[in-house]
Amino acid sequence: MNNVLKTCIVDDDSIYRFTMVKTLESTKLPMEIMAFSDGEEAIDFMLDNLDQDSVFPDVIFLDIDMPVMDGFQFMEEYIKIKPRVGKKITIYMVSSSLDPVDIERAKKISAISDYIVKPIGLNRLKAIIEDLLEDRKD
């Protein structure tokens, strides 16, 4: 089992993506980081690699509000291809939105593990990654 966690950030805000990458790197935990600027880029990557589960992320931090394809549209497409994905992918919906409608909508999607309000603090991010790495050992 590979002990490197493939971590994916899907967010249209380039400054936020940069900050997330730097924060993840600062944890010094074993991971590979990939980033996409909208849901369509991320889904296209997955569709292009359906026969290569090893390149898929283990965890996705998914923004809601993005141009082209937002986080909810990404989830609609992901759910369609999920049966063809040969690995478990943990998805966190990440947004600055405190709108109860967004939060409730995200909670109704079983493929979403949790809804996190931006910004994700270092301790929370590190705990998420450590938990995912620990789960892989089982």
45-67 pLDDT tens trace: 999 999 898 999 999 999 999 99
Structural domains counted in the chain: 1
How many of the other CB atoms lie within 10 Å of CB of 2?
Answer: 10
Query: Which one-letter amino acid corresponds to residue 110?
Result: S
| Pairwise CA distance, residues 55 & 89, whole Å | 12
Per the CB < 8 A criterion, the answer to whether 45 and 78 are in contact is no
pTM of the model: 0.95
| Pairwise CA distance, residues 112 & 26, whole Å | 25
**CA separation (Å) from 103 to 5, 48, 67, 118, 128?**
26, 30, 19, 13, 19
- pLDDT at position 136: 78
82-128 pLDDT tens trace: 999 989 999 999 999 899 999 999 999 999 999 999 999 999 999 99
**Domain residues for 66?**
5-137
- Residue 61: give its domain's CATH number: 3.40.50.2300
